Amino acid sequence: MKYASITERLSRLGSEKWAVHIEGKHRKAKGEKLIFLSIGEPDVPPPAAVLNAAKAGIRHGNLGYSAGEGAHKLRETLSRYYTKQTGRAIKPSQFLFLPGTQAALYVAFMAIIEPGDEVLLLDPYYATYEAVVTAPGGVPVPVRLDPDNDFHINFDLLEKTVTPRTKAMLLNSPSNPTGAVFTEEEISRLGAFAKKHNLWIVSDEVYATLVHEDHRFISPFFDKTLEERTVVVSSISKSHALPGFRCGWIAASEEFCRRTLPVSETMLFGGHPFLEEALTAALDGDFPENAAAKHAYLSRAEALVAGLKGANHLRAHLPEGGMFVMLDVRPTGLSGDQFARKLLAEEAVVTMPGESFGDGGAGHVRIALTVDEATMAEAARRIRKVAEGL
């Protein structure tokens, strides 16, 4: 049978990124003990109140079809949440419920990209970004972030990379994998750049609540003059440690939501109403579990950085936000991939090579902060051993 070209385009963007992780899983299946620092899956407990809201939704029989754009009560809650964050009125009609940020990214690019349109990706970037751009026929165009400036933006390079075919840029702050949080000045310059070249800004804000001291989360959506061109995608997968709930959303202009609803409905026919009830509770509350999780991620990063302090050939610093540390292994002379494979082979520590996140991640290894402090300190000891044995 003859398949559509999308199956070809997406098949080339897959599993080799995960080779080290997959090998770790195979070794685990054979009974070996390993330290997994490869996947950004929260290990911390989600808020009990949100779990209870989901259970109550089932008990009350909230099991029918939901509205395609999401339940009205949920969109009212999102409206309050974003009105408070942005300081201006954001209407319930400016949201679409989607089952996770990933689905929101897919729908957003389906709605704005024609075949051949270029999309700027700040490189290194999250592992699925090339695919979400490529699915509707878009062309991902990487723009290197500066590893020697903690992966912040090189605006000269951005300006050099834009072409008449550039249609959008995809931001992720706090960033997976780099841990960078873009400053107010950076967001303002990105906004001016987007206006100058008439670009969409797709802003992946899945780590927005995980910003560490001395840094502040700023979204382009906070700026009213960027509202018509900004599409925010987010979820409670990280903020509330609930990736399995698949509860996310788009926040954008009314026009974007009106035009994009049929794209989303064509595939989804609405969400799961008892989980939308839980999402409403999640966004309405302030939970000690979330504060504890944020604190835990920072303490683990501190344990890692302290354990690697002064190590030969390694550079690690605290992330500005998110759940990851980018470990710079360039002074070892190995690629991120070589270092990650050696670490797995010799010390049973599973990480992600920086190259899995684009060429901009070369010479780095991404460490997920998803084990307790003591295990993180042990991982640091093993990482150090590999580097110092070179």
Ligand X SMILES: Cc1ncc(COP(=O)(O)O)c(C=O)c1O
DSSP state of 34: -
Residue 2 Cβ vs ligand X, minimum distance, rounded to whole Å? 31
Indicate the residue among 243 and 271 with the shorter CB distance to ligand X. 243
Q: Check: CB of residue 268 under 8 Å from CB of residue 249.
A: no
Instruction: Give me the sheet containing 230-235, strands edge to edge.
Output: 95-98, 248-251, 230-235, 200-204, 166-172, 118-123, 139-144
Q: Which residue is nearest to ligand X (CB)?
A: 100
Residue 322 Cβ vs ligand X, minimum distance, rounded to whole Å? 8
Indicate the residue among 40 and 307 with the shorter CB distance to ligand X. 40
Indicate the residue among 70 and 100 with the shorter CB distance to ligand X. 100
Residue 358 Cβ vs ligand X, minimum distance, rounded to whole Å? 13
Residue 367 Cβ vs ligand X, minimum distance, rounded to whole Å? 14
CA 203 to chain centre: 10
Indicate the residue among 57 and 248 with the shorter CB distance to ligand X. 248
Report residue 132 as tokens: 């979400």
Residue 248 Cβ vs ligand X, minimum distance, rounded to whole Å? 5
Contacting positions for ligand X (CB under 6 A)? 40, 100-102, 126, 172, 176, 204, 206, 235, 237, 243, 248
Distance CA 49, CA 72 (A): 21
Indicate the residue among 24 and 307 with the shorter CB distance to ligand X. 24
Q: Check: CB of residue 268 under 8 Å from CB of residue 98.
A: yes
Residue 283 Cβ vs ligand X, minimum distance, rounded to whole Å? 14
Indicate the residue among 126 and 256 with the shorter CB distance to ligand X. 126
- Taking the CA atoms of the chain, what radius of gyration do you get in angstroms? 21
Contacts 24+ apart (CB under 8 A), 349-353: 349/34, 349/35, 349/37, 349/379, 349/382, 349/383, 350/20, 350/21, 350/24, 350/34, 350/35, 350/36, 350/37, 350/38, 351/20, 351/37, 351/38, 351/327, 352/17, 352/20, 352/21, 352/38, 352/177, 353/20
C-alpha separations of 33 from 30, 158, 290, 348, 373 in Å: 9, 44, 29, 7, 18
Closest CA to 367 of 332, 331, 317, 330: 317
Indicate the residue among 307 and 336 with the shorter CB distance to ligand X. 336
Q: Which residue in the block uniquely carries the two structure tokens 């002064």?
A: 310
Residue 102 Cβ vs ligand X, minimum distance, rounded to whole Å? 3
Residue 104 Cβ vs ligand X, minimum distance, rounded to whole Å? 7
Indicate the residue among 170 and 334 with the shorter CB distance to ligand X. 170
Backbone angles phi, psi at 111, to 5 degrees: -80, -20
